[in-house]
Amino acid sequence: MRRYKIPHTDLEASRIAYGCMNIGNRWDRMPLTKAEKAAALDVIVAAYEEGINLFDHADTYMCGKSEAAFAEVWREIPDLRNKIILQSKCGIRFQGAPQKSDPPRYDFSYHHIVHSVEGSLRRLKTDYLDILLLHRPDPLADPEEVAKAFDELHIGGKVRYFGVSNHTAAQITLLQKSVSQPLVINQVELSMLHAYLIDEGIIANQDRDSTALTAGTLDYCRLNNIITQAWSPVAGGKLFNPPKNSEKRVKKAAAMVTRTAEEKRTSKEAIVLAWLLRHPAGIQPIIGTTKPERVKASCLADDVELTREEWYALFIAARGEPLP
């Protein structure tokens, strides 16, 4: 698989990344079974063998079990750590933790960021993260407090590079004003069915409201050499097997994906991901399937080239209305 250099770093990342949320299997604190560990190992190895070298985590995924499941790979491939990019996120806190009366919330406090990273390193059984992302914007975040945490983690060798997730251009600008390290990633929801970041530039001068409130985020990231990572890039599989009660646009887009895949003799996954890869922003899709065969089907996207006409045909079908 082709790779590219992440700006402001010495990291070369695969065009497609693997999202490890689901390898922990269940959202509870029950110990991982042998079967669950084995299944996690199978899909991680499959991703690596397909050329994927960036693996995305978060401290909260499956209550920490996804990071623990990933650590099983060190036994299978002992020298793997220096060949891959480990990325994790922090900032989401669950209801009832640590006090029963605590609400669900976001927390970019110094203590929580540092504590979360230390927990991730322990579960992942590694000394450092290549990249740490702040998971979802915290309205109570103090940029100077975040900067203090980043400095300590960076100087201590626990985190090499930093970024954000689900942040707008203005939020990144505010944070970067205090943080001394460059913010190198912004991970956002982006797919053919959730393309507000792309559609924004088209509807900007139309007499209608944008539900995205994206504030030029995609262009901002391009201008500032921040890699845009796309979570849920295949829209939960709706573009392969749309539910019976799906919107008309979903069914139409799915039919076009199928037809395009047949014409190009490739997988449906490859077409959906190639649509993102075709964008000049250098978007990096993060796939999350736990099935090795679907990992392989997804990675075929690296060899698929969509024409401008094919890209727009898929775009128009998925947006559900003609271009203005």
pLDDT at 296 over 80: yes
Residue 151 within any structural domain of the chain = yes
- Give the percent of the chain with pLDDT over 70: 95
Q: How far is CA 34 from CA 37, 40, 124, 158, in A?
A: 5, 10, 17, 29
Enter the pTM of the model. 0.95
Residue 259 within any structural domain of the chain = no
User: Residue 232 is encoded by which pair of tokens?
Assistant: 């849920």
User: Residue 180 is encoded by which pair of tokens?
Assistant: 């001394």
Kindly report, residue by residue over 1-24, the tens digit of the pLDDT. Answer: 999 999 999 999 999 999 999 999
DSSP result, 60-108? TGGGGHHHHHHTTHHHHSTT-GGGSEEEEEE-EE-TTSSSTTPPPEE--
**CATH code for the domain in which residue 75 is found:** 3.20.20.100
Q: How confident is the model at residue 201 (pLDDT cuts 50, 70, 90)?
A: low
Q: Please, are residues 233 and 289 in contact by the beta-carbon 8 Å criterion?
A: no
128 is known as an active-site residue: no
Helices 169-178 and 143-155, axial angle in degrees (round to 10): 60
Q: How many domains does the structure of the chain reveal?
A: 1
Residue 125 within any structural domain of the chain = yes
Residue 242 within any structural domain of the chain = no
pLDDT of 134: 98
pLDDT of 212: 47
Ramachandran area for residue 80 (φ above 0: left; ψ -120 to 50: alpha; else beta): alpha
Residue 262 within any structural domain of the chain = no
Residue 297 within any structural domain of the chain = no
Q: How confident is the model at residue 211 (pLDDT cuts 50, 70, 90)?
A: very low
Kindly report, residue by residue over 73-94, the tens digit of the pLDDT. Answer: 999 999 999 999 999 999 999 9
Q: Which of 18, 48, 61, 161 is catalytic?
A: 61
Kindly report, residue by residue over 299-313, the tens digit of the pLDDT. Answer: 999 999 999 999 999
C-alpha dihedral sign at 104, 117, 41, 186:
positive
pLDDT of 206: 46
Residue 321 within any structural domain of the chain = no
Domain range for 120: 3-236+279-290
Residue 241 within any structural domain of the chain = no
Q: Return the closest-CA partner of residue 11 out of 65, 74, 73, 53.
A: 53
Q: Return the closest-CA partner of residue 275 out of 310, 228, 249, 247.
A: 310
Rounded distance between C-alpha atoms, residue 295 and residue 42, angstroms: 11
